[in-house]
Structure 1
Amino acid sequence: MLCCVSLIPLSLFAAPFALAQNTAPAPAPAKQGTLPASPATSAKGARAKPPVAAHAITHVDVGAHRSDFAFPSAQHEPDATTHLSAELLRNRDVTTLRGLERVAPNLTMQSINGTASTNFYLRGAGFNDFTQNNMPPVLTYMDDVAYAYPAMSNGLMFDLADAAVDPGPVGTRHGQSTTGGEVRLRTNDPTTTWHYGGMEDIASYARSRSEAYVSGPLAKGWSFRLAGQTRQGGGWQYNPTNGAHLGDADLWALRGKLRWQPNDRTTIQLGGHFVQDDSEVVTAVPVHRLIGSQALPGFGLGRQAEWSMRPEFAKLVGRGAGLKPSEHNQYWGVDLRLIHDFGPATFTAISAFETERQGEYTDQDGTALSQADTYRTIDANVFTQEARLNGAALHGRLNWVVGAYYQRSRMNQRFFFDYTDYTARGYMMATSFGMDQESVSEFGNVSYRLPHNVTIWAGLLHELDDRGITGLTSQIFGGTTRSFSPESTAANQFAGQAGVSWQFVPQAMLYYKMSKGFKPGGFSANNTQVQAQLDPFKPETVLTYELGLKSDPVPGRLRLNGAAFYNDFHNQQVIGTVLIPNYGPLSEITNAPKSQSWGFEATLEAHPFGHLFLMQNIGWQRGDFQNFPNVDRAATNAYYAAHNQWKAIERNFRGVDNGSPKLTLNGDATWRQPLPTGYRLDFGPDWQYRGSQAITVGGTGFYRLPPYFLLGAHATLHSPSQLWDITVYGRNLLDRRYAESGGMATTTYFYIPGEPRFIGGRIACHF
């Protein structure tokens, strides 16, 4: 079944499109089989123009009769990608990956247990990787480098040029295959003239963010860019029993790029970054006691919270007494890229090495008791190598790309648990394991533009993936230590895409495509008690059908893009439940043999009159399991509550909703008011809505996160020279109490509360 997007009938567009054909020149037809933008090539694979100065801002004449929207060339690309400018990201205060859900449709990005690690859900595709050792369904790219583990991108969202959210299966044109899509972040590149600047942002709860950059030439053909940021304060949680404060940021990051252009056809660039994150995290608020009779704090989703750290546990993990829920993370990486234009084709090679060293403490029971206090250490590195060749022929009618991708990762993790106040256990324990992974893929894509502005394209990817988990031990301190046999899993899969687009008038395009996506299997390795918990889950595949429209019916005044999709999943990777006898239910990543989802997303941009600019994203999706036998956690918990005995209640979740938010909305309205002597004031509201989301399969009641609506606002004064601007902003102006994410500890179910009202201001200068 293909759910069609509710778009305005084409006949209603006919008149403005006909008028547009007489008033605006027709753009060149878009090329298919394109690549993401790289430092020396445009999105079409051609030689890029010289770098734009970092402080350059497109001038908008608010008194003119028309004002073009951003990313006009993307309107001729047959995809549902949401393109985000650096200006939009600043206006909406998007400074972390999680903030992207405020500016893109059908996207949900959530913290894992309140930490800096993030889970992605795009069009309902995604899962809660609480062990953080598996490839996500939605990949993050930073300057064309794929991050196999999302945490590696923490602290790097500064000095951005733009971003893009691309839903659906990907991998036939660049990078790595996956089923849910990708988030691409692009940072500013070195410039051939000197530029420097900075930004200072101060907000509620003593939060501050500082950024600075410098960029310019070093010698003939050589240029560089150095940028950095710091984050401090902002903690808004407190413990009413002792007045302790929680949540302050403590992060700094540096990024550098060195570029050499020996001639106008060759670019060699070396990049590197370093992040140190010692921030405190948002701690859990328990909403239901599963085991035990102790009363819950009853704080609701406000600013109040409880947490604990026993000195014995702090000593065990090697941290100081009184440790608060927090990060102790270090990330660094280097990348080298070579781009050479041969004329008929452009060659691109990207080598990257990324590392993460994490030490992360969370109080998952959300009480002053030590019933599920967790400290996790991660030591991981990833090496990737990509090489691709893309070109055009037949006067641009034929476009093609071929390439290969290699990835190797190494990871060691250790989980420490303090169950001292959990009477059924009453001990401290640790689970340790190592994981090795290696994959290689080859990909290709070709497109051809037929007469009447019809373009057809097809792509194919083949991937081999091999991964194994070794050395897993489960140690009870003062008790027994159990060792488990190693496990491995391998996959040999194909993915691909085929489609057709029709630029039926210069300002509108229809497209249809079918895509098969592939994502390798992996392991759950959290609190392992029996060997069966290490059985690998299978690879996930999806067949996606997508129908879309991109249109500018009134150029510069009205833009409407939309896409409808249907996903046919096989062995979809989801969080299920396993019951360990005499121990309790545990979460594990497993496979739903058959499932489906469908829906649409649309973006409306309007400049109806004068100085008013509007933007609205809407995402709607539904999905269910067609075959998924698993433990019914709610029924199993209910049986325990009635009989004080664990018994697995099995059921097939056939026909049960997949639990993803059905409706997501976000948008803003801006009034651009010219002022005397060349100043300009931009101001207006912004908003976000997310529907209810299940935290367990088939969850109802407290097993679901409630829906929420957030209102914000911003006002920016621009200088006549565009060299500085001053902004005041507010987030969650209504001070709504809401849950960002949720989960289960040993004795409680908990929510992670979202931020309260934040009022802030910033000043930015560019020279």
Structure 2
Amino acid sequence: MAPFGLWVSPWAQARTDPQAAVNTAASATEPATAVGKTGKPTTARSVTHVNVEARRYDFPFPAAQHEPDATTRLSADLLRNRDVTTLRGLERVAPNLTMQSINGTASTNFYLRGVGFNDFTQNNMPPVLTYMDDVAYAYPSMSNGLMFDLADVAVEPGPVGTKHGQSTTGGEVRMRTNDPTSTWHYGAMEDIASYARSRSEAYISGPLAKGWSFRLAGQTRQGGGWQYNPTNGAHLGDADLWALRGKLRWQPNDRTTVQLGGHFVQDNSQVVTAVPVYRLVGSQALPGFGLGRQAEWSSRPEFSSLVGRGSNLKPSEHNQYWGADLRIIHDFGPATFTAISAFETERQGEYTDQDGTARAQADTYRTIDSNVFTQEARLNGAALHGRLNWVVGAYYQRSRMDQRFFFDYTDYAARGYMMATSFGMKQESVSEFGHVSYRLPHNVTIWAGLLHELDDRGITGLTSQIFGGATRVFTPENTAANQFAGQVGVSWQFLPQALLYYKMSKGFKPGGFSANNTQVQAQLDPFKPETVLTYELGLKSDPIPGRLRLNGAAFYNDFHNQQVVGTVLIPNFGPLSEITNAPKSESWGFEATLEAHPFGHLYMTQNIGWQRGNFQNFPNVDRAATNAYYKAHNVWRAIERNFNGVDNGSPKLTLNGDATWRQPLPTGFRLDLGPDWQYRGSQAIAVGGTGFYRLPPYFLLGAHVTLHSPSQLWDVTVYARNILNRHYAESGGMATTTYFYIPGEPRFIGGRISCHF
């Protein structure tokens, strides 16, 4: 949950809730229609008197305290105060959430309650889905560059899909951007920080004609590269991104809303490169830089020419994303109809130096050309004076993807060539869902939901080409799934400020394919669908309203065929990562959020997430033992074992929080200052990993100071992240010859000024 909310005037509300702009002046005369969570239009009445000096601090999202879920809701103010500007930043403000860059790139993996996997090719459905304005992104990278002009974010763990969208097993991250307003508003933000980093945002919103309104927002990011090569002084990591989003809304009457939205992102940013921590193959010394700012990378002119990039190619992105969506909402009275049509596309060109050395042993360039069409239609309503609430709907998704991986192994003695792997993906799914809840006497509510999904996907045209050598053509493969998911639960509002709930959920996620660096046909065998039965007990409470809030949930996950990144050994080639199934596994844990205003001007938040899990049956190649055998005998031999009883490798403990002192100043100014912190426990990068196969734990400390104007129309902030300049590993992995870590950001100190009118 967000730590606290601030309400100083309707002008301030308009920053995070655009529709509240209708209440910003005594002269407002027209009601404005917004769309609430249920999809029903709600009317905001005009306000004739506004006291701009009024001050009332309270905890945010009070209505959510009566909803039986473990969702973490994050306000736009909180995200801005904690400098959360990318998806990966969400792990600093939500419990039991780990979000990691894939090999330092813009692609992101999610682990929510330990559920997730490292899909480098990004061609499979993730266990945790990303939504932007109710549009599900089948491939997480499609959301890159879109976290600006946000209204709020919600992180919901566990199986979902009986109320909207698509079923999955790990949960979902829902981002909501600001909508058009019926009165004029505009604003801008400029953020400048260490290493010449700059971020700029601006928006404008208002009416066009009777019933018509619009919103246009954009951002740019530049600089910030903090890695450098001490041997030649070259620098790496500068951002170069711009994005634009537009919305056009038509409200012909107080029952109907039609909104067209679109966005475009161009990302030519450099990426963070790997730091090798262990040499698996060969005798060359590693750079030995540690997890600081120093790093090595390389790109041979021949390889740059092959992939069609310049000779000075650095690890970087060359990506383009765009999409459009149309939503229609109509209130029929007894029920509200919602239809959302969306088309999303991505064009990626991405270079990474995965061995983290100046040699060409695992230099990789990949291209992705994909598009996704989704259509959702749902009908929801209430009856019996609000005691009965229901929703029924259907969801359709069609995706197409073409990928090509180029590899430069020229300096890898066992290969000594450049090669390319190409493949296509076709996918189509349809699902039907329904959910019903009924409020019994004594504030007891029962509910049930059901989803049925058909999914069909195939991999086509896969070839593996060695330049100057042989080309292998592989047989297409297909996989289909026909599954049910569902949920039943009961909640009890036993006090006006306390809710207890229990639910059981079955989640489903379709199977797919591992397609990276394919050498033998068996690597294209599809992995099976994943199912999970989740038991959850939760409490939401405000023991001292306005002073103390405590929310928490405990869970147990019973997995069947959990999709896990395991290991396959290719003779005369070496070990490769492969998504496979663990026939039986389990996990359990809890998360909690404490929000407190203990006295005076002090406001605090503490999120805690703890989880454990193990495999109960998982036969696979033991990567550590296989590597050790190769080191001793210089021969690849798969050492098999069953990982029964082995820990699932996820961080056991995650913590994050902040404290803020809010100090009123003369003439209506206010100063907010305080620290924030984050801890992540050790995480395995290979099944059963110990030693260098695990990312070390880390603790980060930050701070912020913000001066608010009396009118709340502008504020100035100075902030620091990683103020102790800790060296830590954000993520890790394996290349052909080395194991590597991706280092996290060093200390960043910056300043930000923003204004809203």
TM-score range, shorter chain: over 0.9
Cα displacement string for residues 438-459 of structure 1 (whole angstroms, at most 9, x for unaligned residues) = 0000000000000000000000
Residue 510 of structure 2 corresponds to residue 520 of structure 1: yes
Residue 394 of structure 2 corresponds to residue 404 of structure 1: yes
Deviation at 1:43, TM superposition (A): 1.8
Does the residue aligned with 1:515 lie in a helix, a strand or coil? strand
Partners of 1:90 and 1:44 lie apart in 2 by 27
Q: How does 1:286-301 map to 2 (within 5 A)?
A: 286-301=276-291
Residue 38 of structure 2 corresponds to residue 48 of structure 1: no
Q: 1:591 to 1:57 in 2, by over 3 A?
A: farther
The residue number in structure 2 matching 1:562 is: 552
Partners of 2:435 and 2:372 lie apart in 1 by 26
Partners of 2:243 and 2:289 lie apart in 1 by 35
Q: 1:58 to 1:602 in 2, by over 3 A?
A: farther
What amino acid is the match of 1:618? Answer: I
The residue number in structure 2 matching 1:545 is: 535
The residue number in structure 1 matching 2:573 is: 583
Match of 1:469 among 459, 463, 469: 459
Q: How does 1:63-74 map to 2 (within 5 A)?
A: 67-74=57-64
Q: How does 1:237-276 map to 2 (within 5 A)?
A: 237-276=227-266
Structure 2 contact 39–338 (Cα < 8 Å) conserved:
no
The residue number in structure 2 matching 1:162 is: 152
The residue number in structure 2 matching 1:442 is: 432
Q: 1:131 to 1:220 in 2, by over 3 A?
A: same
What amino acid is the match of 1:681? Answer: L
What amino acid is the match of 1:366? Answer: G
Match of 2:55 among 61, 86, 100: 61
Structure 1 contact 365–746 (Cα < 8 Å) conserved:
yes
Structure 1 contact 51–189 (Cα < 8 Å) conserved:
no
Does the residue aligned with 2:58 lie in a helix, a strand or coil? coil
Structure 2 contact 374–395 (Cα < 8 Å) conserved:
yes
RMSD: 1.3
Aligned-pair identity in percent equals: 89
Q: How does 1:243-642 map to 2 (within 5 A)?
A: 243-642=233-632
Match of 1:236 among 213, 216, 226: 226
Does the residue aligned with 1:733 lie in a helix, a strand or coil? coil
Deviation at 1:50, TM superposition (A): 4.5
Does the residue aligned with 1:116 lie in a helix, a strand or coil? coil
Deviation at 1:751, TM superposition (A): 0.1
Does the residue aligned with 1:300 lie in a helix, a strand or coil? coil
Q: 1:208 to 1:58 in 2, by over 3 A?
A: farther
Structure 1 contact 51–190 (Cα < 8 Å) conserved:
no
What amino acid is the match of 2:81? Answer: N
What amino acid is the match of 1:734? Answer: L
The residue number in structure 2 matching 1:200 is: 190
Deviation at 1:60, TM superposition (A): 7.5
Match of 1:654 among 628, 644, 648: 644
The residue number in structure 1 matching 2:213 is: 223
The residue number in structure 1 matching 2:79 is: 89
The residue number in structure 2 matching 1:679 is: 669
Structure 1 contact 388–401 (Cα < 8 Å) conserved:
yes
Partners of 2:83 and 2:350 lie apart in 1 by 26
Cα displacement string for residues 358-417 of structure 1 (whole angstroms, at most 9, x for unaligned residues) = 000000000000000000000000000000000000000000000000000000000000
Structure 2 contact 52–711 (Cα < 8 Å) conserved:
no
Q: 1:119 to 1:200 in 2, by over 3 A?
A: same
Structure 1 contact 662–692 (Cα < 8 Å) conserved:
yes
Q: How does 1:7-18 map to 2 (within 5 A)?
A: none
**Where do 5+ consecutive residues of structure 2 fail to align?**
1-32
Partners of 2:35 and 2:69 lie apart in 1 by 20
What amino acid is the match of 2:390? Answer: W
Partners of 1:286 and 1:363 lie apart in 2 by 11
Partners of 1:611 and 1:452 lie apart in 2 by 38
The residue number in structure 1 matching 2:740 is: 750
Partners of 1:400 and 1:84 lie apart in 2 by 26
Deviation at 1:463, TM superposition (A): 0.1
Does the residue aligned with 2:667 lie in a helix, a strand or coil? helix
**Where do 5+ consecutive residues of structure 1 fail to align?**
1-38
Cα displacement string for residues 24-55 of structure 1 (whole angstroms, at most 9, x for unaligned residues) = xxxxxxxxxxxxxxx943123432344999xx
Partners of 1:663 and 1:682 lie apart in 2 by 29
The residue number in structure 2 matching 1:31 is: none
Partners of 1:60 and 1:284 lie apart in 2 by 52
Match of 1:115 among 105, 114, 133: 105
Partners of 1:214 and 1:116 lie apart in 2 by 28
What amino acid is the match of 1:259? Answer: R
Q: 1:58 to 1:646 in 2, by over 3 A?
A: farther
What amino acid is the match of 1:685? Answer: P
Deviation at 1:182, TM superposition (A): 0.2
What amino acid is the match of 2:271? Answer: V
What amino acid is the match of 1:237? Answer: Q
Partners of 1:167 and 1:202 lie apart in 2 by 34
What amino acid is the match of 2:225? Answer: G
Partners of 1:206 and 1:49 lie apart in 2 by 46
The residue number in structure 2 matching 1:5 is: none
Partners of 1:535 and 1:641 lie apart in 2 by 29
Q: 1:181 to 1:345 in 2, by over 3 A?
A: same
Q: 1:483 to 1:552 in 2, by over 3 A?
A: same
Partners of 2:53 and 2:433 lie apart in 1 by 40
Match of 1:151 among 132, 136, 141: 141
Does the residue aligned with 1:48 lie in a helix, a strand or coil? strand
Partners of 1:601 and 1:571 lie apart in 2 by 25
Does the residue aligned with 1:315 lie in a helix, a strand or coil? helix
Partners of 1:435 and 1:606 lie apart in 2 by 49
What amino acid is the match of 2:494? Answer: F
Q: 1:136 to 1:57 in 2, by over 3 A?
A: farther
Partners of 1:80 and 1:714 lie apart in 2 by 28
Figure out how many residues of one structure are paired with residues of the other and give that number: 723
Partners of 2:752 and 2:570 lie apart in 1 by 52
Structure 1 contact 57–722 (Cα < 8 Å) conserved:
no
Structure 1 contact 51–192 (Cα < 8 Å) conserved:
no
TM-score, structure 2 normalization: 0.95
Structure 1 contact 40–339 (Cα < 8 Å) conserved:
no
Match of 1:133 among 123, 129, 134: 123
Structure 2 contact 39–329 (Cα < 8 Å) conserved:
no
The residue number in structure 2 matching 1:714 is: 704
Partners of 2:380 and 2:277 lie apart in 1 by 54
What amino acid is the match of 2:711? Answer: S
Q: 1:52 to 1:445 in 2, by over 3 A?
A: farther
TM-score, structure 1 normalization: 0.93
Deviation at 1:322, TM superposition (A): 1.5
